[in-house]
Amino acid sequence: MPKAFVTGWPVSHSKSPLLHGYWLDHYKVDGSYEAIPVSPDDFKNFLFGLKDRDFAGGNITIPHKEIAFEIIEECDEAAELIGAINTVWFEGDCLRGANTDAYGFSANLDDQAPRWRQGKTALVIGAGGASRAVIFSLIEAGFNQIHIANRTVERAKVLAARFGSKCFAHSLDAVPELLSEAQLLVNTTSLGMTGDKGETSFDLSPLPSGAIVTDIVYTPLQTPILEEASNLGLESVDGLGMLLHQAVPGFEKWFGKRPAVTSGLRNHILDVL
Ligand code: ATR
């Protein structure tokens, strides 16, 4: 029976056991998926002990994603550029790593707003770990002007340098002007997680009428930015789908079945948000 895990510190907040549990049930797969809290001090030993404990693989979440990238030698291009690993599996005795967040971001938009791929200019708010996955997706999708606006402009500059000549760094002051050129607006910051607008709200009215607005935050589902987009009649996509889609490649690797992201799964997770 294949066994998989999610590890983090803490890990109790993770939705992954619920998500993979749903698919295990739905597809009647004889397998297990468990949450294992592992402290930063113990993480390396945990990784090296996976083979002996008979795991097929698992997910790695905060705060271990970057350390996993440093330890695991075999990883995919997304993990290399993002600098973090969130999914691992064994090929023979070799532990391989991937970052599936970028895949999750793209697959969610492919599902909900497929014309996003026609865009050439995007505005990304935020320059943290999550922003890296988004930028990777945008480059892969063919965007050729990716504006990164961040409260701390230095962090935006570091990302722009990392991802190359299609990326441009800005402070948040530049947002109103950048909005007028953006075909896609992505919020990657925790702004609005509490549902509190405060300094978090931007006037989105400069966005072109065909612009798509998406947020990678999914608690609340309707973030202030998405709410404002809807008020303006713009197409908006919430961040829950990214969480669901990023889990697909891992499930397939560990359990041998490519699972589908369905409304049944979405409702199952929505029930606990
Ligand atoms: P993650 O890995 O989830 O992206 P992170 O690396 O902590 O998390 O990044 C959080 C992002 O939210 C950053 O872009 C951060 O801006 P700074 O780089 O200036 O810290 C942004 N952020 C968080 N709180 C914010 C706030 N109150 N106003 C503006 N930006 C905020």
Q: What is the mean pLDDT of each run of 10 residues along the chain (273 residues)?
A: 97 97 98 98 98 97 98 97 98 97 98 98 96 98 97 97 97 95 95 50 89 94 92 97 98 98 98 91
For residue 180, the Cα-to-chain-centroid distance in whole angstroms is: 26
Catalytic residue flag (residue 197): no
Q: How far apart are CA 35 and CA 30, in angstroms?
A: 17
Res 196: pLDDT: 47
Which amino acid is located at 90 in the chain?
F
pLDDT at 104: 98
pLDDT at 201: 63
Question: Can you tell me which atom of ligand 1 is nearest the CA of 188?
Answer: 4
- Give the residue, out of 123, 189, 215, 219, with the most ligand 1 atoms within 8 A of its beta carbon, to mutate for a pocket test: 189
pLDDT at 191: 72
Ligand 1 geometric centre to CA of 124 (Å): 12
Give residue ranges with CB within 6 A of ligand 1: 126-131, 150-152, 155, 188-191, 199
Atom index in ligand 1 nearest the CA of residue 189 equals 12
Query: 123: Cβ–Cβ under 8 A, 6 or more apart, which residues?
Result: 147, 149, 175, 178, 179, 181, 182, 184, 185, 186
| Distance (Å, whole) CA 43 – CA 63 | 10
Per-residue DSSP letter, 270: H
Instruction: Give the distance (Å) from ligand 1 centre to CA of residue 191.
Output: 8
The pLDDT score that the predictor gives to residue 16 is 98
Atom of ligand 1 nearest to the CA of 131: 4
Q: What is the structure's pLDDT at 192?
A: 52
Question: What whole-number distance in Å separates Cα of residue 194 and Cα of residue 142?
Answer: 33
25 C-alpha to ligand 1 centroid (Å) = 36
The conformation of residue 190, written as its DSSP 8-state character, comes to S
Query: What pLDDT is attached to residue 195?
Result: 42
| Atom of ligand 1 at shortest range from CA of 200 | 28
**Which of 44, 51, 65, 197 is an active site residue?**
65
Strand ranges of the sheet holding 235-237, from the earlier edge strand across to the other edge = 167-171, 145-150, 121-125, 184-187, 212-215, 235-237
Pocket residue to mutate for ligand 1, from 190, 200, 218, most atoms within 8 A of Cβ: 190
Q: Using the mean position of ligand 1's atoms as its centre, give its distance from the Cα of residue 128 in Å.
A: 6
